[in-house]
Structure 1
């Protein structure tokens, strides 16, 4: 085959008279170009319909593999610290039980009020009232507020507040006000405050009506 002859035939041919039925008589270079084009289109079509979806699946599989590896590494790190975490959990549960034991049950609230009254009497304070309010239900506990008003000397009141704070059951003190008593010549003060104690509510326990 003479390459220059084939090039000349390709250049001199009339492109308007090409007939696919006579492709066997086309110049060799034209036949080669057509074969290359057909082969290229065939490969492109094969890639588009067969390889491309598989490559997409492969990319998704690699992403999933990376996620699983991260999950495994995280769980492996947690497993390596499992004993430490169990010890810390046991300590937290012990602290929780200790705090829970400091919360009075509903039946123990009257006894707690008696303890506060005894603290006031032991400090020579006059009790004007200790008055319960309606309980307030929260998600995990029930809040029991009550108002306290007592009269006495400054140092006696301070000692009384310290006694209340050190009770074995948790009692928080809020909205404290001290006012001098005019009928006592300013030697005595009146303490008004809101105190709160709390009862742990077991899961599933019905909320109290307001």
Structure 2
């Protein structure tokens, strides 16, 4: 029998076997001590693998939508460019204010107040409030609102209130907002005021943007709720009213302020005018109608178009108004094509 007290006297192979067994026991004890930690790390690696697989699947799904998203981005850029074309620059605001004023005067309205306010910078544009008070016929006011919608620039109406006049036609009080592009200093100020981070906004769904289509004011045949404009006047008070049954022509949906004569065309001895409106080119002959006020083309020359309009005055009577559209292309000459 081998005694542990006499281990030094054991044969060498016995001593080596005991040493190897002891080392194996120590290694097994150390491995068992680290087994729990290894299992926890293995489980964490498995969870991370599943999360990476889910992220990869989501990235693949988004990559499949990339062509559609690029198409939507191109469509949004085209829409933005079209809207920015309707925003004047700061130096063009005077012409826009004049166009608003002329639109009211053309309807026979009297401006008692026309007060532009302080421009208010927004995220991508600058809004200028304009406090107005006009007096005139009820239907003339309605037609004036339609003319504002038909301007080539963006003008909105807020706080509209129509009140009966004490001794005359009704009065309109409203705040108009004209919009323009910011200049360089305003753009820099917007960038400086922009917060570092903003919450993400939901992306617009395809087809959610509907283009604005201005409409003519076609309620002039209805009774005037304020009384004065709805009463018929004798023939001596004005000219004959336009025929309400007449079929409207395409250019009658465009305000005269949005038209421009760009040339003329002579064919078979007849001279026609070339008008540009809403980005399209129209051929107009004498006797055709244009503009929202029953504008009849009376004469055409190589330099201008003469027309005659019918509009209601502040008292509701129909009045004749004459005007012209001058050629706006410098050096343009009429195209001769006699056949």
User: 1:46 aligned to 2:31?
Assistant: yes
C-alpha distance after superposition, 1:163-203 (max 9, x if no partner)? 1122111111111111222232xxx1111100112234479
Alignment-derived partner of residue 205 in structure 1: 188
User: 1:156 aligned to 2:140?
Assistant: yes
**TM-score, scaled relative to structure 1:** 0.70
Tell me, which stretches of 5 or more residues in structure 2 are unaligned?
6-24, 191-339
3-state DSSP class of the match of 2:163? strand
Greater alpha carbon shift after TM alignment, 50-59 vs 147-156? 50-59
Q: Aligned equivalents of 1:120 and 1:144: distance in 2? A: 18
Using the TM superposition, give the Cα deviation of residue 142 of structure 1 relative to its aligned residue in structure 2, in angstroms: 1.9
Alignment-derived partner of residue 144 in structure 1: 128
- The 5-angstrom pairing of residues 21-60 of structure 1 reads 46-47=31-32, 49-60=33-44
Using the TM superposition, give the Cα deviation of residue 204 of structure 1 relative to its aligned residue in structure 2, in angstroms: 4.8
C-alpha distance after superposition, 1:143-181 (max 9, x if no partner)? 211111111000000000111122111111111111222
User: 1:69 aligned to 2:53?
Assistant: yes
C-alpha distance after superposition, 1:1-42 (max 9, x if no partner)? xxxxxxxxxxxxxxxxxxxx99xxxxxxxxxxxxxxxxx9x9
Return closer, same or farther for 1:179/1:204 CA change in 2, 3 Å cut-off. closer
Tell me, which stretches of 5 or more residues in structure 1 are unaligned?
1-20, 23-39
3-state DSSP class of the match of 2:188? coil
| Structure ranking higher in helix proportion | 1
3-state DSSP class of the match of 2:189? coil
Return closer, same or farther for 1:204/1:68 CA change in 2, 3 Å cut-off. farther
User: 1:191 aligned to 2:172?
Assistant: yes
Using the TM superposition, give the Cα deviation of residue 139 of structure 1 relative to its aligned residue in structure 2, in angstroms: 2.8
Aligned partners of 2:88 and 2:180 also within 8 Å? yes
Using the TM superposition, give the Cα deviation of residue 94 of structure 1 relative to its aligned residue in structure 2, in angstroms: 0.6
Return closer, same or farther for 1:183/1:71 CA change in 2, 3 Å cut-off. same
Using the TM superposition, give the Cα deviation of residue 45 of structure 1 relative to its aligned residue in structure 2, in angstroms: 6.0
Using the TM superposition, give the Cα deviation of residue 110 of structure 1 relative to its aligned residue in structure 2, in angstroms: 1.4
Please report the RMSD computed on the Cα atoms of aligned residues, expressed in angstroms: 2.5
Larger radius of gyration: 1
Q: Aligned equivalents of 1:174 and 1:182: distance in 2? A: 24
Q: Aligned equivalents of 2:123 and 2:93: distance in 1? A: 20
| Structure ranking higher in strand proportion | 2
Aligned partners of 2:109 and 2:140 also within 8 Å? yes
3-state DSSP class of the match of 1:194? strand
Using the TM superposition, give the Cα deviation of residue 43 of structure 1 relative to its aligned residue in structure 2, in angstroms: 6.1
Aligned partners of 2:87 and 2:154 also within 8 Å? yes
Higher relative contact order (CA 8 A, sep 6+): 1
Q: Aligned equivalents of 1:191 and 1:84: distance in 2? A: 48
